[in-house]
Amino acid sequence: MTLFDQIPQRLFSVLASPGKIVFSETLFIIYRLFRRIRFIPREVVVQEIIDYLSKNLSVDELVTDLGEDVHGDDRLTAQALLRRLREDEWIDFETLPDYQEYITLRPYAEQILEVLESIRLKERTQYAGYIYSTHAALNAEDSYEQGLIALNEAYNRTSKLMRGLTSLLHNIRHYTEKLISTRTTKEILEGHFDSYKEEILDQEYHQLRTSDHVSKYRPQILETIERWANDTSWINDITTDLSLSQEVSKEEAFDFVMERLEFIRSSYFEMDTLLNDIDRRNAQYAKASLERVRYRLNSSEDAVSKLKSTLNSISEKIVAGELNATIEDSIFQTNFKLYPVQTLETSSIYKPREYRKLHESAEIFNDEPNIEDLENAQKRAQQRFSKMMTYKKVEAWIANNMGDINEARASNLRITTTDDLVHLVHLAAWGKSKYLGVIVDYIDEDFITPTGEFMFKNISIKRR
């Protein structure tokens, strides 16, 4: 299924036309009215559009886009705008029993306009709010009974939080690239203390890193997710509810539920890394900004900078046609004598040639080996070999843990010590070897031991 199986193919044509500004503002007018009342009288919308047109635009600019002659009349223009939006399936006209015509937004149009409105207004992401609402959804009194609703709410909030933080990370890179193109100290300072601090390091992000730090809510969020993921009864109940409500198989419903649980769990595990990357890039931007200001303040006074400024000014005048750029009759010929100079100095990157020297071999001594040293070396080698992991050691560990069982999962074994974990890692690595007495299949799920000390990817173990 593609995007245009869900929306009309001509939907975005009005936003790519010469009159895109007027069409977009008309859509925003309808959207703002639609949020207050679901059925908007057509005359109310027309009057709002007329007010906008009278303040912002000459009607003649829209004649080509509208495809009809509106005779310079704002009312006719407003009506034509609405007809065009209906043709492109943004809106619908509907007549109710009171014989009055109303305007409604198509469902997909409302979703699209919600995103566009937030972009237009530069709405800030409520980072701490997303974490708090995720915590509230998972730990409310009835969250266990309303499992699917709570899970979906937590997933949506976590998804928005991760998108917001990822976008923030990339925006810092954008500002760093923008910093390179700034020409004056004033532009650098305005960019840093105005737009950068407002859009990047705003109060919401500062609050997330201080009073409402993610670690304040993360333990309870992860505890709830782990408890639900290991609760077979809870999983079966919401899987059944989902398969009935969405008309999908139980296998698809199970995958859907487990995918959302894993997304929330992995997001909160990896969030510290993402936040540290944001802080690191922010520190890099602050350092680059400071160095750029320092360079601009200090570089304008020395002779090299003055010469560079003079040549830049001459180049700009030549490009503008204010100076002749030919060698015979130019400002270079009359005022400057420029020529390249190459000299060798003590600081030059130059390595003098060296004459080849005759090779002199070192003397080789053939002493008799010390028997005691050889024995000590053999003992050390035997100790190293005894610590090495072998197929026999892994098979002995499997036999001790599985007993007479022919098939088991790693999550069913007793993984209580670091030595157990080392054996399990080697078992997973050698699982396809013909020299091992078992066959290993990999399962795409994480498992945490009851003590919480170890976490590993689960595997299936089957005797040959």
User: Is residue 130 packed enough to be buried (19+ CB in 10 Å), middle (13-18) or exposed (0-12)?
Assistant: buried
Which amino acid would we find at residue 286?
A
Q: Which domains does the chain have, with CATH numbers?
A: 3-120 (1.10.10.10), 127-298 (no CATH), 301-345 (no CATH), 377-463 (no CATH)
Give how far Cα 205 sits from Cα of 88, 115, 275, 384, Å: 40, 21, 10, 52
Find where tokens 């400071």 sit: 290
Residues in the chain: 464
DSSP symbols for 260-321: HHHHHHHHHHHHHHHHHHHHHHHHHHHHHHHHHHHHHHHTTSSHHHHHHHHHHHHHHHHHTT
pLDDT reported for residue 259? 92
Count CB atoms within 10 A of the CB of residue 298: 10
Predicted TM-score of the model (pTM): 0.51
pLDDT reported for residue 330? 53
283-342 tens-digit pLDDT: 777 777 767 666 666 655 556 666 777 777 777 777 777 766 554 455 555 555 556 666
pLDDT reported for residue 264? 92
User: Is residue 289 packed enough to be buried (19+ CB in 10 Å), middle (13-18) or exposed (0-12)?
Assistant: buried
Low-confidence ranges of the chain (pLDDT < 70): 1, 57-72, 124-126, 128, 176-208, 211-212, 290, 292-306, 323-352, 365-367, 369
